[in-house]
Amino acid sequence: MTPSEIRALLDEHRLRPSKALGQHFLADNNMAAHIVRLAGVQSGDHVVEVGPGLGSLTLALVDAGAHVRAVELDARLAKVLAEVVHGKPVDVVIADAGAVDWTELLRDHDRWVMVSNLPYNVATPVVVRALEEAPAISRFLVMVQREVGERLAAPPGSKTYGAVSVKVAYYADADVVGSVPPEVFVPRPNVESALVALTRRPSPVAVADPERLFSLVRAGFATRRKTLRRALAAEVDEATFAAAGIDPGARAETLSLEQWAALAGAA
């Protein structure tokens, strides 16, 4: 949809974008088609779209031959979206992607792709929860705030590498594959967006106790400026660092997922 079409729909239905829900509607057909191409969507694919809004990206997915399950929290928008996609292979579901039962939502097909312009305020928990609870989603192409995208895909040693980067890496390979300027949205946001591609690993990295792994990661990154010896003093002793081959004088942001796993395994 074009900006004028988006504004006309909003006016017709007396709607205003919700700041609380982080609503910024994609209003550029070329960008929508570009996102679909980057996602590798092909005819017959089953796509789950979180935060479809008024349907710009939804229509581009349909044009590529996809069957779309559009998950929209705002019932007002969902009603308009249902009109926009009437007669097309789109299921509009009114639900909170942060609390939805992913197994139930996706139960009718074994393999899904997530392609979404995610609301900025919920992007990280939606992606992480889908990685944790929706193994049927084999790959993702999500549009998020640039700094969020950089954290999701950050490698060890980078300034944006943190606990969420380790969590994502446990489940998937992630890369920032593009940027999206503010001017392609209505209303225009104050930040640049990034496109992040995630490909789920066939199985998570082998760890005897994943909860132990993520407990250590959270503790390590809670005090980034401290060495691991100090940050993990209550949980890891010198012998455990030695057994894992980890320098206790290092800091959390220098450890790869595999090193965190080794530490969790030795602890």
DSSP 14-76: T----TTTT--EE--HHHHHHHHHHHT--TT-EEEEE--TTSHHHHHHHHTT-EEEEEES-HH
Three-state secondary-structure class, residue 123:
helix
Q: Which residue has the tokens 């100090």?
A: 230
Please give the CATH topology (third level) of the domain spanning 210-266: Helicase, Ruva Protein; domain 3 (1.10.8)
| Domain ranges for the chain | 3-200, 210-266
Asked whether the predicted pLDDT for residue 206 surpasses 80, the reply is no
**What would the mean pLDDT of 255-264 be, rounded to a whole number?**
95
Element (H, E) at 116: strand 112-117
Three-state secondary-structure class, residue 189:
coil
**What would the mean pLDDT of 23-32 be, rounded to a whole number?**
93
Average pLDDT of the chain? 94
**CA-based nearest residue to 221, from 164, 137, 155:** 164
The DSSP code for 206 is P
d(CA 176, CA 150): 7
Pairing label, strands 193-200, 137-145: antiparallel
187 cis-preceded (ω within 30 degrees of 0): yes
Asked whether the predicted pLDDT for residue 1 surpasses 90, the reply is no
Query: 3-200 is classed in which CATH architecture?
Result: 3-Layer(aba) Sandwich (3.40)
At 6, which amino acid appears? I
Confidence of residue 19 (pLDDT cuts 50, 70, 90): confident
> Are the CB atoms for 17 and 93 separated by under 8 Å?
no
Q: What is the pTM of this model?
A: 0.92
In sequence order, the β-bridge partners of residue 150 are: none
| Residues ≥6 apart with Cβ < 8 Å to 6 | 25, 27, 54, 56, 186
At 240, which amino acid appears? T
pLDDT score, position 222: 94
pLDDT score, position 246: 96
